[in-house]
Amino acid sequence: MSAPDRSRPVCVLVGAPGSGKTTVGRALAEALGVEFRDTDADIEQMAGKPIPEIFIDEGEAHFRTLERAAVAAALAGCPGVLALGGGAVLAEETRAALVGHTVVHLSVELSDAVKRVGLGAGRPLLAINPRATLKQLMDQRRPLYAEVATATVATDGRTPEEIAAEIAALLKG
Ligand SMILES: Nc1ncnc2c1ncn2[C@@H]1O[C@H](COP(=O)(O)OP(=O)(O)OP(=O)(O)O)[C@@H](O)[C@H]1O
Ligand SMILES: O=C(O)C1=C[C@@H](O)[C@@H](O)[C@H](O)C1
Ligand SMILES: [Mg+2]
């Protein structure tokens, strides 16, 4: 059996805000016994402040610049499960960098996504009118998640553990 490649993620998770990338990613990493990394957390560490503060102080464009760099670094240096921010796939550079990786799109319908993000706390783009904004984001991004994904796993009405188990089975082939 060949040794696992320590320089690339075993799985990259993409999907809309509230699809469960962070929650399922943690459960999957634990099930596989590998590290979990989340580019949103990397960006906060890099910037030294929470994401909402980056949006307030420097704006979304600056956040997206930090995000492109965080994704590139994580793709080259995370041997475990990697969760991307919900909007990371907006960058053409990031979509290109994902080619050749195992990328799982966690799909979610609007009704479950709205319930999960609630009033959008900690998610600056959803601070106003979360339901309408989420619908708009999801409509815009659905084709982008599909473009980068090597597999899609539905999350509606399922627990994070069930979803993580399905992904673990997929990864085993
Ligand atoms: N399958 C699920 N069923 C029920 N609740 C879930 C499920 N997955 C995640 N949640 C809950 O939904 C909320 C959002 O989940 P999470 O933060 O993992 O989403 P995300 O995809 O990482 O979002 P973001 O793009 O904003 O980082 C959390 O409160 C989490 O506990
Ligand atoms: O959907 C988005 O554009 C975002 C999702 C979050 O994961 C964070 O990356 C940030 O709040 C932006
Ligand atoms: Mg997350």
pLDDT of residue 4: 63
Domains and CATH numbers, the chain: 11-172 (3.40.50.300)
- Smallest-distance ligand from the CA of 117: 1
CA 51 – ligand 1 centroid, Å: 16
pLDDT confidence band for 161 (50 / 70 / 90): very high
pLDDT of residue 118: 87
Task: Supply the ipTM of this predicted assembly.
Answer: 0.98
Question: Which residue of 123, 139, 144 sits with most ligand 2 atoms within 8 Å of its CB, as the best mutation to test the pocket?
Answer: 123
* One-letter identity of residue 104: V
The pLDDT tens digits of the residues spanning 10-36 come to 999 999 999 999 999 999 999 999 999
Q: For residues 156 and 117, what is the distance between their CA atoms, to the nearest angstrom?
A: 14
Enter the pTM of the model.
0.96
Does any ligand 2 atom lie closer than 6 A to the CB of residue 130?
no
- Smallest-distance ligand from the CA of 70: 2
pLDDT of residue 173: 86
Task: Tell me the two tokens of residue 56.
Answer: 């307030």
User: Which residues fall within 8 angstroms of residue 4, CB to CB, at 6 or more apart?
Assistant: 10, 79
Q: Is 6 annotated as a binding residue?
A: no
pLDDT of residue 1: 46
Q: Is 64 annotated as a binding residue?
A: yes
CA 16 – ligand 1 centroid, Å: 10
Does any ligand 2 atom lie closer than 6 A to the CB of residue 44?
no
* One-letter identity of residue 151: A
pLDDT of residue 63: 98
The pLDDT tens digits of the residues spanning 78-124 come to 999 999 999 999 999 999 999 999 999 999 999 999 999 987 788 89
